[in-house]
């Protein structure tokens, strides 16, 4: 068999492609993978990424789930448009309306800015209608620049100012090179990340247009979605890498402590910010577990089998660790 046929890094081919039209008229590229009638999973990618970021999850889950992925505005095959967290919520509503039938339930999973999308949309009717359960992966609701560990400096105004400048830099990323891969690995991935996974993330991030990267960097620098966290009442699993420099583990612990229905906090030792690529088996397993527990249970009229005591334990432990 040729090397070409053995490749596993090519993006999965969608069974269907859709166009969702957001409230401001923006057109979003949507892909549907997997069989009709199967439990549904909706995946929202993060800043500077695209649907390709979820390739490992799509390959695994699409065998027995219907997997919906979409390109955030300005990313991948979705054209550039105005930016803002309310617009992220509008876009998610449009995707849910285009890909799901009325009342149809799904697991909604978001990585980084994708997680922020879910928080921004949490109080909306479409979110409540369709969200059976949620996975928040490597994300935060506020203080992203202040808490970032990209720069090895003491916390304070100097580090915050310099971090803001770096994340919002207008310089083009250019082609992927050995140096650019080392920089990306340092800033976004764990020290033990496999070279092929670093290369995969570099290809995705470098494909993001400069204007999109800069515009969303300014939005994320001013992020405040704490109110959205309190509105997120679906059962939620929070996943984070302990070596994440962009959204350090403190964000995950704050989320777990503040979420009304947090059922689990998963801390991945040594992993960085790109957890769906760095630890695909773990992230996929958590999505699969949520679908099996909540989407199937919802279809059968059951309640999901998570006890109040278990949720209280997660919340108490998170509060103690975040303090």
pLDDT tens, 42-53?
999 999 999 999
Please name the fold of domain 3-322. Rossmann fold (3.40.50)
**In angstroms, rounded to a whole number, what is the distance separating the alpha carbons of residues 36 and 272?**
34
pLDDT digits (tens, 9 = 90+) for 95-128: 999 999 999 999 999 999 999 999 999 999 999 9
Q: Is the Cβ–Cβ distance between 184 and 260 less than 8 Å?
A: no
- For residue 148, the model assigns a pLDDT of 95
pLDDT digits (tens, 9 = 90+) for 147-204: 999 999 999 999 999 999 988 888 889 999 999 999 999 999 999 999 999 999 999 9
Q: Is the Cβ–Cβ distance between 56 and 90 less than 8 Å?
A: no
Mean pLDDT, the chain, rounded, equals 91
pLDDT digits (tens, 9 = 90+) for 211-226: 999 999 999 999 999 9
Residues 6+ apart with CB under 8 A from 262: 236, 237, 238, 255, 256, 311, 314, 315, 318
- For residue 310, the model assigns a pLDDT of 44
Contacts 24+ apart (CB under 8 A), 81-85: 81/22, 81/24, 81/26, 82/24, 82/26, 83/215, 83/216, 83/218, 83/219, 84/219, 85/116, 85/117, 85/120, 85/219, 85/223, 85/225
- CA 95, 99, 104, 110 dihedral sign is negative
CA atoms within 13 A on the CB side of 310: 12
Query: 305: pLDDT confidence band, cut at 50, 70 and 90?
Result: very low
- Sequence spans of domains, the chain: 3-322
Task: Please count the residues of the chain.
Answer: 323
Q: Is the Cβ–Cβ distance between 45 and 139 less than 8 Å?
A: no
- For residue 297, the model assigns a pLDDT of 63
Query: 4: pLDDT confidence band, cut at 50, 70 and 90?
Result: very low
Rounded to two decimals, the pTM is 0.90
């Amino acid at each position: 068999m040729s090397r070409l046929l053995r490749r596993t890094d090519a993006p999965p081919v969608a069974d269907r492609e859709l166009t969702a039209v957001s409230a401001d008229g923006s057109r979003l590229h949507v892909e549907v993978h997997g069989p009709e009638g199967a439990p549904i999973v909706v995946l929202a990618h993060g800043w500077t990424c695209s649907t390709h970021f979820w390739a490992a999850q799509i390959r695994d889950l699409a065998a027995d789930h219907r997997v919906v992925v979409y390109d955030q505005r300005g990313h991948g095959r979705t054209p550039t448009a105005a930016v803002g967290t309310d617009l992220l919520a509008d876009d998610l509503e449009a995707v849910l309306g285009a890909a799901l039938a009325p009342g149809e339930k799904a697991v909604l999973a978001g990585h980084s800015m994708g997680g922020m999308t879910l928080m921004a949309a949490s109080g909306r009717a479409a979110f409540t209608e369709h969200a059976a359960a949620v996975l928040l992966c490597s994300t935060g609701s506020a203080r992203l620049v202040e808490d970032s560990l990209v720069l090895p400096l003491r916390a304070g105004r100097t580090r915050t100012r310099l971090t803001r400048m770096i994340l919002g830099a207008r310089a083009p990323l250019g082609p992927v090179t050995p140096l650019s891969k080392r920089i990306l690995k340092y800033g976004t991935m764990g020290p033990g990340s496999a070279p092929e996974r670093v290369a995969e993330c570099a290809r995705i991030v470098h494909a993001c247009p400069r204007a999109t990267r800069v515009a969303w960097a300014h939005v994320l620098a001013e992020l405040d979605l704490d109110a959205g966290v309190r509105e997120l009442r679906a059962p939620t699993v929070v996943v984070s890498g302990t070596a994440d420099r962009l959204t350090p583990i403190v964000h995950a612990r704050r989320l777990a402590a503040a979420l009304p229905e947090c059922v689990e906090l998963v801390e991945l030792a040594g992993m960085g910010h790109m957890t769906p690529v760095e630890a695909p088996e773990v992230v996929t397993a958590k999505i699969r577990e949520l679908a099996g527990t909540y989407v199937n249970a919802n279809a059968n009229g059951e309640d999901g089998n998570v006890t109040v005591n278990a949720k209280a334990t997660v919340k108490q432990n998170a509060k103690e660790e975040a303090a």
